[in-house]
Structure 1
Amino acid sequence: MKVKDLELFSEIINQKIYIWKNNHLYLVNKNNINGNRALIIKLLAFAKTNTFTLIKHESEHALIVPCPKNILIYIEIKHNSKIKAFNLSSVESLLSVRQTGEFVYKLYTGQDCPYSFITFKNTEQNSSIGRQTSQKTVVSPELLFKNESLILDSISKLDRKSVKEALRGLTHVQIIGEIFANNNLIRGEKDTLISFIASLTQTVVMSGLPAKEAYELEDSLIQAIELRPTLPLFTEVIQEIVWIFYNQLLDHRKKAVSSISERTSNYIQNHIREKITLSGISSALNTPKQTLNKAFEAKYSITINQYIRNKKICKAKELLRANILNLEDISKFLSFSSKSYFVQTFRQITGFTPKNFQKKNNNTI
């Protein structure tokens, strides 16, 4: 735990940082004057696990960063801060807050932050603000956050059914996102969407989508959202964004599977005379055996070992038709362990012994 690094960071940004640990609140920089500790402890109650919490209280903001072992880090963000958070109508501000949270997490724990989603809370509002359904009930923004982990997990597994179920849980939501920027409802929706896009981006990158491709998609979606003066029904936008990321990852996986299987097939063709093993292919292509098998079976519907045997027997047929080499020579030429094993394999695949195949072929000619 690098408390001294946090203390230095507190001085650099000229803001107070507190640590909540074992039911006690500690001020990181002893040179600072303690703030309203009772208020801070009250605000810490809004913290959520696995997400940053950005709180607006009167004219100030605070960022809460949850760490392992139920430790919370509370960062004041005042108007003179070097963190661009007091103007939340700016995308740059929102991204700066997220980067600050990730940086503080790593400073304190020494590990990369495993989350990037931001939850917003305006303490001036006694309840979550939302449009009403036809039954005149107010829908809580927590519905999105409760479904977020399920949506992200389902996308990483490319589980279409689970994605649909998670999105179905948002069907009755008319508005998600609190008013936290100049009482601007559209701004609240946009910033919530931008945070969600950031989480989706991180998920697909961790699931194998190239970072450049993922961040280009993120930038284009954020730009599209920012340029729109109004938004359609909020849940429709959420669903559209989710399926965009899902399909992007799916297309990448399909291309990757095709590439791996084709490289495997080419390797086998080019080394057909040798003793080919799965370990040898894995080493040559620098790809785990499990990945090779899964990709190959997805495209060819047979295992790699079956494919090797089939290709060797195809080559053996050519040699038998040429009638140049005897069975002993053919078995050695194709690196079978013995003549008897070659004959056995040939019969299993073709239904004929090599000699019967040769006779049948000669009679046909």
Structure 2
Amino acid sequence: MKNKKIDWLASAASVDIFTYSNHKLQDLSTGDKHFNRGIMLKASKQAKSGLYTIVQYKSGYMLLVPINENAGLILLPKMDINEDLRNVFSSIDFVNHSINTAKLAFHLYTGLDAPDWDITMVQLHGDYKVVEQTRPMNEMVAFHVYTVKMIEALSNLDEDRFKESLTDMKGCRVFGEALTTMNVIRGQKDILIDLISKLTDNVTKLGLPIEKVIPIQMGSIQKIEYQTNILNFDAWLEEIPWIFFNAFRNYRQSLFKDKAERIKDYLKNHAQDNLRLKDISEVLGISEQNLNQIFKKKFGATIKQFSIQLKVEAAKGLLTTTRLKIKDIADCLSFADESYFVQTFSKLIGATPAKFRQAHIQAKLTETKNAQL
């Protein structure tokens, strides 16, 4: 029963869940993907009795929920390697809802009422030693100075200076009496939206195409405005600039790639879409008549063939890590209908989607049974 409850939490909160105890980890509810267990074990050492703990590390966040002095739960938000913007907001939501998630995890795992503990945050950087929070500053002027330095670092794609400036920005206490006596939530939102505007202006002037900038700008602002509270302002302050940094870096790198590689990257980033040659031509600035010729010369397949392969690989992931119906997977990946999806999948994999899923489940059951022997 406990496993079913934990599975439900993992699905509802979109997290992977582990237990830690005596320097060991055990999967409770995870998908088929790689986890950096070394970092997770280092993070588990930061757990403190009487506190829920958010651990920030290079790739994101994890939540520690102590069960007793020597054991507890680790929760990690699920991520999509192709969705930077979605991942950033997933991380922010994960932090914002961390107290409720921690309490629910404690209750479902132990069957006991969750303690009404406070939550703290620690950071792991570099060699993953805990570092102290940055020094506090009292002047808004300092915040703007570091913002300018951060934007300059973005312009030069200087990642080290960019990180340093973000750390300094987070160290500024920008919420003095003037803001807290009026509306601190509105003040937080205004500062974040102003930062987004500055970043938008900068990357646009640097040449990032407007069709790439607008979704980031509007998506970020809408997400901020929808929040009833900003539980962890520092998380928003750090993560949002990285969206712009990564978008600009990816764009600059794409300029030095040959056309075939640019087509490939676009296909991989839009594997779920129903792409037309016209759409690809307009986005990449490559003649529609030359697209297939350029792509096939380097990769030995037409754009349609490669796109189908990507969709089938994505389908394999959905079949083995979710309980989505076959029809829903077909819709999600923009196949014309369920029948065409089944036919295409079977041709490339040698088994229907249903049989592929069943074989995966059977292999997992056998693996678990053998591990228990």
Query: Which bracket does the TM-score occupy, shorter chain normalised?
Result: 0.3 to 0.5
TM-score (norm 1): 0.32
TM-score (norm 2): 0.32
Structure 1 or 2, whichever has the larger Rg, is 1
Q: Which structure features the higher share of helix residues? A: 2
